[in-house]
Amino acid sequence: MSQPEKNTANQPDFPVTERVREALAITQRGVDELLPEAEWVRKLARSEATGVPLRIKLGLDPTAPDIHLGHTVVLNKLRQLQDLGHTVIFLIGDFTSLIGDPSGRNTTRPPLTAEQIKHNAETYYRQASLVLDDSKTEVRYNSEWCDALGARGMIQLASRYTVARMMERNDFHDRFHAGASISVHEFLYPLMQGYDSVALKSDLELGGTDQKFNLLMGRHLQTEYDQEAQCILTMPLLEGLDGVEKMSKSKNNYIGISEAPNEMFGKLMSISDVLMWKYFTLLSFRPMAEIERLKAECAAGRNPRDAKVLLGQEIVNRFHGPQASEDALADFVNRARGGAPDDIPEVTLSLPEGGAGLGGGALLKQAGLVPSTSEAVRMIEQGGVKVDGGAVSDKALKLPAGVYVVQVGKRKFAKVTLKG
Q: What is the pLDDT of residues 254-268, one digit of tens each?
A: 999 999 999 999 999
Quote the pLDDT of residue 322: 96
Any residues with CB less than 8 A from the CB of 86 and at least 6 apart, and which?
Answer: 47, 53, 54, 55, 56, 136
Q: Which of 317, 336, 355 is the last residue of a domain?
A: 336
Q: How many helices (H) and strands (E) does the chain have?
A: 16, 13
Q: State how far the Cα of 159 lies from the Cα of 173, in Å rounded to an integer.
A: 20
* Coil, helix or strand at residue 350: strand
Report the predicted TM-score, pTM, of the whole model to 2 decimal places: 0.75
CA count, 13 A, side-chain hemisphere, 375? 11
Residue 120 is which amino acid? N
| 222 and 278 belong to one structural domain | no
Instruction: Identify the CATH number of the domain in which residue 289 sits.
Output: 1.10.240.10
Q: State how far the Cα of 265 lies from the Cα of 249, in Å rounded to an integer.
A: 18
Instruction: Give the residue-averaged pLDDT of 89-110.
Output: 68
Any residues with CB less than 8 A from the CB of 193 and at least 6 apart, and which?
Answer: 59, 93, 96, 214, 217, 218
Give percent of the chain with pLDDT exceeding 90.
Answer: 49
Quote the pLDDT of residue 48: 97
CB-count exposure of residue 268 (10 Å: 0-12, 13-18, 19+): buried
Quote the pLDDT of residue 332: 86
Burial state string for 400-412 with b = 16 or more CB within 10 A and e = fewer than 16 = eeeebebbbeebb
Instruction: Identify the CATH number of the domain in which residue 34 sits.
Output: 3.40.50.620
| 156 and 224 belong to one structural domain | yes
| 315 and 350 belong to one structural domain | no
Q: Is residue 187 part of a domain?
A: yes
In residues, how long is the chain? Answer: 420
Please state, in angstroms and as integers, the Cα–Cα distance from residue 85 to each residue in 35, 78, 135, 317, 400, following that order: 21, 11, 11, 24, 65
Residue 214 structural domain:
8-235
What is the full DSSP assignment across 128-156?
HTTTS-GGGEEEEETHHHHHHHHHHHHHH
| 304 and 415 belong to one structural domain | no
**Pair 367, 383: CB distance under 8 Å:** no
**Pair 210, 246: CB distance under 8 Å:** no
Q: Which of 336, 366, 381 is the last residue of a domain?
A: 336
**Pair 398, 359: CB distance under 8 Å:** yes
| 76 and 190 belong to one structural domain | yes
| 381 and 355 belong to one structural domain | yes
Q: Work out the pLDDT band at 5, boundaries 50, 70, 90.
A: very low
Give the number of domains in the chain: 3
- The mean pLDDT value of the chain amounts to 87
Q: What is the pLDDT of residues 358-408, one digit of tens each?
A: 888 888 999 999 888 888 888 888 888 888 777 788 888 888 888 888 888
Q: What is the pLDDT of residues 159-180, one digit of tens each?
A: 887 777 777 777 776 777 788 8
| 402 and 319 belong to one structural domain | no
| 202 and 231 belong to one structural domain | yes
Instruction: Give the residue-averaged pLDDT of 27-54.
Output: 96
